[in-house]
A and B are shown apart, each in its own frame.
Chain A
C-alpha cells in the first residue's frame, strides 16, 4: 500500500503468504480415532505409576479404549518407544561388549560389531555383505570396515557414514575403497550413531548423502 507511511516493512512477507492461500487450505480432514488411542497409551506408559498390567482407572478426560492401530504399526516397523527400546538393548549389548571385549595380541579391543548387508536397500545389488567393527587401539577408536566385493555405481565413489536412529544426524567418515580403519572423531559415540551405511556418491559437490545406500547394518 504505497500511500501509507504506517505500513510496516515486514508486512510484505505476511501479505505474500496470504496471497498464496488456496480454498483447500481451510478444508481439514478428520483424524482416525486410532491416532488418539495411541497417544493415550503412550502418555499412560510415560507415567511412573502402578505396576504394569494392573487395571487402572483411566484419568478423567481420556476417551474409551479402541482398537489400536498404533500397536500394530509398531509391530510392523519399530517406531517411537519400540525404536527407543531397541536402541537401549543395542546400547546394553555394546556395554556388555566392552566388559567382555576381545583383545587380540596386537592390543586391539573390539567394542561393537555390525553385519552389513544390501537387503532392503533399493538400487543396491542383492546379496552384498560386509563387516563393520568398532575397535580401540592405542587409545583411539576406529571403525574397521571389511567390504571387499563392494563397488560404487559407474562414475561414482563410495562414502562411509554413521547415522543416528532418529535420522537427525549423520557423520561422514570419508571415502571407502573396499575397507580399512576409519578413525572415529573424538567425542563421537557410536551408540549415538549406531547405523553404519556405505553409499554410492556422485561427484556433484554436494556433501549430503545421495540416498543410494549399498550396505547397511547396526552396531551392537
Chain B
C-alpha cells in the first residue's frame, strides 16, 4: 500500500471529513467499478453513494489491524449490491431506466469482489514479490523451479511467496482476511 493509503486506513475510523474525501479519492474507482460490473452502470451511481455513506456512518467499526479499508469498503459494497439486486428481482425499484441485465447471482458478486481486490493488491506488491507469486500461481511452479528460473536463493523465494500471499490475503474483505 502507498504511504498515503496506509495513513488513510489508520485515520479513517476517527478522522474528520477531510479523511473521507481522501478515502473517496483513493477507493471510489474500485467501489464504483465493482458496482458497475454487478448492478450495472445506472444503479452503480446510487449504490456507490450508499457504500461510502454507510462506511462513514459506521467508521468506528473499521479496524485497520484486521484488513484494509479497500477490503472493508468492498465488503459493504457486496451487501448493498445484493440488496439492490434483490429489490430489482422483486420489482421494488423502478427499472424503467435500467436495461434488463444478465441475471447476476451472489456467486458472481463474490468472485468479482475477490478478483478485483486481489488484482489491485497484486499491483501494489513490490516487483520481485509479485513476479515470484505470479510464477507460483500462474505457472504452478514449485519453489525450486522458481528459484532456478529467477536465480534467487530458495529461502528468498519461500519467504517472498509467504509474505506476498499474506499481504494479498489482507486485502480481501474482512470475511476472508
What's the Cα separation between A61 and B50 when bound, in Å? Answer: 20
B76 within 8 A of A: no
A88 within 8 A of B: no
Chain A contacts of B22 at CB under 8 A?
A: 61
A46 within 8 A of B: yes
Given known pairs A34-B45, A163-B90, A167-B86, the reply for A6 and B162 (CB within 8 Å) is yes
B29 within 8 A of A: yes
**From B19, which residue of chain A is reached at the shortest CB distance?**
A61
Chain A 34-77 interface 0/1 with B at a Cβ cutoff of 8 Å (1 = within): 11101100110010000000000001111100000110010011
Interface residue count on the A side (C-beta < 8 Å) = 54
Query: Looking at the complex, which one of B36, B87, B138, B162 makes contact with A29 (CB distance below 8 Å)?
Result: B36
- Of the 9-residue stretches B5-13, B61-69, B116-124, which lies at the interface with chain A? B116-124
Query: Looking at the complex, which one of A1, A28, A195 makes contact with B33 (CB distance below 8 Å)?
Result: A28
Chain A contacts of B119 at CB under 8 A?
A: 21, 25-26
A interface residue numbers (CB < 8 A to B): 1-4, 6, 11, 14-15, 17-22, 25-32, 34-36, 38-39, 42-43, 46, 59-63, 69-70, 73, 76-77, 79-80, 120-122, 163, 166-168, 195, 197, 209, 211, 213
The 3 A-B residue pairs with the shortest CB-CB distance, nearest first, are A61-B18, A25-B119, A28-B29
Give me 8 other A-B pairs in contact (C-beta within 8 A), A35-B32, A38-B49 excluded. Answer: A4-B143, A17-B114, A18-B137, A18-B168, A21-B118, A27-B33, A28-B32, A167-B90
